[in-house]
Structure 1
Amino acid sequence: MPAPRVSVRTRIFELEMVLAGAQPPVRRRVQVPGEIDLAVLHEVVQSAMGWTNSHLHEFEIAGRRYGIPDPDWPSQDVVDETKGKLFRLVEQGDRFGYVYDFGDNWTHEITVEKITGAEPGVRYPRCVSGEGACPPEDVGGIWGYEEFQAVMADPAHPDHDERLEWARGSFDPHRFDLDETDRALQWLAWRPLAPVS
């Protein structure tokens, strides 16, 4: 299936995504077409933050939960995320939540910072800024992440070598690479608006 195309009518939503409670702060600012559904926004969050899409997730917008409904639990009252278009659910200034991994409970606070027109020749979605490294998967949520960082910072800690190996030799909680993060979103790219000639 060909990638969707950005048009002159496409509204671009600039979203700030903050991992709640993380120290040092972990945040990303992304720009996405407003016509994407929440299933695609889930992929944007995963790719931009650095998660591996290994666990369940859910959005909460204006008191409603959006995700992947479980046919075995119809009473859960979860709206199918593929049926929720971003531009129909939020406006500039709105805030909403995204939870990833119901065990570790990584809560993300997402703010619609601004809504603009598309720039000719620009690929969307794209990451325009950020800070902080994504915590390792399955580290135990915010509390486990704090402990993980303390162990990593103390070479004398009895668990240091084990955690270092688990982190594949190093982990810098302050690391953020804009180009690397933006490249992680390329697989979701819409065809850009043609430059004006």
Structure 2
Amino acid sequence: MPAPRVSVKTKIFELEIVLAEVRPSVRRRVQVPGEIDLAVLHEVVQSAMGWTNSHLHEFEIAGRRYGIPDPDWPAQDVTDESKGKLFRLVKQGDRFGYVYDFGDNWAHEITVDKVFTAEPGVRYPRCVAGQGACPPEDVGGIWGYEEFLVALADPSHPDHDERREWAGGEFDPHRFEPAEADRALEWLAWRPLTSTS
């Protein structure tokens, strides 16, 4: 299936994604076509933040929950995220929530900072700014992450070696590579607007 194409009518939504209550701060600023559905926005958040898409997730917009409905539990009151287009659900200035991993409960606050016309030749979605490294998967949520950082920072901590090995080596919570976060979104790329589109 060919990638969708950005047209002259495509509005680009600039979103700030902030991982709530985590220190040091973890945030990403992404630009996405407004026509994407929430299932694709989920993939954008996962890729830009550095998560591995290993757990369940859910959006909450204007008091309504969006995710992947469970056919075995139809009363769960979750709207199918693949049926919700971003531009129909939010506008500039709106804020909404995204939770990833219901065990660790990583809460993200997403703000629609700007809505603008697509630029010719620019690939969307893209990551244009950010801060901080994404916590490792299954670290135990906010409290587990704090303990993880304490153990890593102190070579004499009894869990230091185990945590370092579990993290795959050195882990810098302040590390953010803009080009790396942007490259992580390439697989979701729409065909860019051309000057003749």
So what's the TM-score if we normalise by structure 1? 0.99
Q: Which AA in structure 1 matches 2:65?
A: R
State the distance in 2 between where 1:169 and 1:178 align. 21
What is the aligned residue count? Answer: 197
The aligned counterpart of 1:73 is: 73
Secondary structure of the 2:137 match is coil
The aligned counterpart of 2:58 is: 58
The aligned counterpart of 1:129 is: 129
List per-residue Cα deviations over 1:55-110 (Å, max 9, x = no partner).
Answer: 00000000000000001111110000000000000000000000000000000000
For the pair 1:99 / 2:99, whether they are aligned, the reply is yes
The aligned counterpart of 1:33 is: 33
For the pair 1:174 / 2:167, whether they are aligned, the reply is no
Q: Which AA in structure 1 matches 2:20?
A: A
The aligned counterpart of 2:15 is: 15
What are the within-5 Å matches in structure 2 for residues 141-180 of structure 1?
Answer: 141-180=141-180
Q: Which AA in structure 1 matches 2:151?
A: V
Q: Which AA in structure 1 matches 2:81?
A: E
The aligned counterpart of 2:189 is: 189
Q: Which AA in structure 1 matches 2:27?
A: R
Secondary structure of the 1:143 match is helix
Residue 195 of structure 1: how far off its partner (Å): 2.8
So what's the TM-score if we normalise by structure 2? 0.99
Q: Which AA in structure 2 matches 1:31?
A: Q
Give ranges in structure 1 of 5+ residues lacking alignment. none
State the distance in 2 between where 1:168 and 1:84 align. 37
Residue 123 of structure 1: how far off its partner (Å): 0.1
Q: Which AA in structure 2 matches 1:180?
A: E
Q: Which AA in structure 2 matches 1:61?
A: I
State the distance in 2 between where 1:112 and 1:143 align. 28
Q: % of aligned pairs identical?
A: 83
Q: Which AA in structure 1 matches 2:19?
A: L
For the pair 1:120 / 2:120, whether they are aligned, the reply is yes
Q: Which AA in structure 1 matches 2:35?
A: E
State the distance in 2 between where 1:13 and 1:102 align. 27
State the distance in 2 between where 1:196 and 1:181 align. 30
State the distance in 1 between where 2:195 and 2:158 align. 58
State the distance in 1 between where 2:120 and 2:195 align. 5
| RMSD of Structure 2 on Structure 1 (CA) | 0.9
State the distance in 2 between where 1:85 and 1:35 align. 6
Q: Which AA in structure 1 matches 2:48?
A: A
Residue 196 of structure 1: how far off its partner (Å): 5.3
State the distance in 2 between where 1:136 and 1:107 align. 15
Q: Which AA in structure 2 matches 1:135?
A: P
Residue 169 of structure 1: how far off its partner (Å): 1.0
